[in-house]
Amino acid sequence: MMIHHEKDPAAAGAQFEYSYQAEITNVYPLTSAEKLYQVQIIDPDEREGFCFQPGQFVMLEAPGIGEAPFSISSSPIRHGDLELCIRAVGRMTHFLDRMGRGAIVGISGPFGTNFPVEKMEGEDILLIAGGLGIAPLRSPLLAVLENRSRYQRVDILYGARSPSELLFVYEYAVWRQFGVGLDIIVDQAEEGWPGPVGRLTELLQQRIAGGVAADFKQRTSAIVCGPPVVFRFVCDLLIQAGVPMEKIFVSLERRMHCGRGKCCRCNIGSTYTCLDGPVFDYWSVLNLKEAI
């Protein structure tokens, strides 16, 4: 177990550089670029003691190769039996791509702030994802679905570049069984794509127009994840529709080398994305220069 607020530097250090040894127990290809990695903390006590909240991230370390932050895509009830959705894009992620099942990696964390899904009980949940943004969003989604009766409407608006880049396709039927409204839009259609083509904001406009306006602004809690370009347009639409800024949550991405507020690489203004984020409400984001 991790011990926080430790004064003795030696003991504090055991925590600072401590990583759980974890095994990649399964790898599921999701698209040509992304895979879902099941990463299980090996020690059963450590695995059980690993508690996180949806929206938090871990630092994943491949000894000798590198260390990088990844948001957790699995449900919090699975503790240290994690699922990470990873796109092979850099040295570290290409290594994972090659190693696959059986590799032993290091996990430290969980780090950062979370989506307050418990505070959202009784509300309509609107999850908006662009591209790989669905990865951090799947954890709060699963947490909501596990307590489905405590929430009103649950809708996902998901935009991807093309149908073949859609993630978690095999789960859509399950999500819908739980009464999730799942609307997908792509930038470019491919053969056989039956759905709409266009921008994520179009889906949001439809969702806003499709409901009762008063309900939408009073009952909606929104979670938005995606590339930087998504945030401003999506959040502006939500605010125009009357959703309070304090009920719009975004997850920001920044370069990180420590996850512990020490390397300063993820600094925005007075905040560290790793400590004060990655989840921010939109009011906080507006007060940070160059956050989005």
Partner 1 sequence: MLFKVFPKEELSRLYTLLAPDRIIGPLTKGRDQHGHPLYDFAVSRNFAELRLDYGQTLHSLKNFFLPYREDLCSFSFPKDGSGNWHKEVDYGAFVPLVFFGLHPCDINALNKLDKVLLEGRYPNPFYGAKRAKAFIIGHSCTPQPFCFCRSMGTDTVLRGFDLFLTPLDEVYFAEIASSRAFHLLEQLSCREPNDHEHRRYRQQITTRESLFEAQVETSDLTKILDLEFQAPVWQEWGRKCLSCGTCAQVCPTCYCYGVEEKVDMDFTRAHKEKMLYSCNLLDFASVSGGHNFRPQSHTRLKYRYYHKHRGFVEAFEESLCVGCGRCGQSCLAQITVPEVIASVRASGGNE
Residues at the contact surface with partner 1, assessed by CB under 8 A: 4-7, 9-10, 12-17, 19, 21, 61-68, 87, 89-90, 93, 102-104, 106, 227-228, 253-255, 257-258, 260-265, 267-271, 275, 289-290
Task: Select 39 or 145, whichever has its Cβ closest to partner 1.
Answer: 39
Instruction: In whole angstroms, give the CA distance from residue 235 to residue 224.
Output: 8
- Positive/negative CA dihedral, 229, 107, 273, 121: positive
CB of 248 to partner 1, least distance (A): 21
Considering the complex, what minimum distance in angstroms separates the CB of residue 121 from partner 1?
Answer: 27
Query: Minimum Å distance from CB 86 to partner 1?
Result: 10
What is the closest distance, in whole angstroms, from the C-beta atom of residue 77 to partner 1 in the complex?
Answer: 25
Q: Which is nearer to partner 1, 149 or 270 (CB)?
A: 270
Shorter beta-carbon distance to partner 1: residue 179 or 269: 269
Minimum CB–partner distance for residue 90 and partner 1 (Å): 4
CA 102 to chain centre: 25
List the structure tokens of 233.
């347009």
Structure tokens at 221: 């809690």
Q: Helix, strand or coil for residue 3?
A: coil
CB of 206 to partner 1, least distance (A): 29
Q: Which is nearer to partner 1, 7 or 98 (CB)?
A: 7
Least Å distance, CB 236 to partner 1, is 19
Residue found under tokens 């925005």: 268
Helix (H, G, I), strand (E, B) or coil at 214: helix
Looking at the Cβ atoms of 136 and 211, the one nearer to partner 1 is 136
Query: Measured from the CB atom, is 153 or 257 closer to partner 1?
Result: 257
d(CA 256, CA 267): 9
CA distances from 36 to 31, 73, 249 (A): 10, 9, 24
Which is closer to partner 1, CB of 49 or CB of 244? 49
| Bridge pairing between strands 220-225 and 248-251 | parallel
Contact 240, 259 (CB under 8 A): no
Tokens at residue 116, please? 């307050």
The strand order across the sheet containing 279-281 reads: 180-186, 154-160, 124-130, 220-225, 248-251, 279-281
At its nearest, how many Å lie between partner 1 and the CB of residue 26?
16
The span from the CA of 273 to the CA of 102, in Å, is: 31
Which residue lies nearer to partner 1 by CB, 89 or 197?
89
| Dihedral-angle region of residue 183 (phi above 0 means left; psi in -120 to 50 means alpha; beta otherwise) | beta
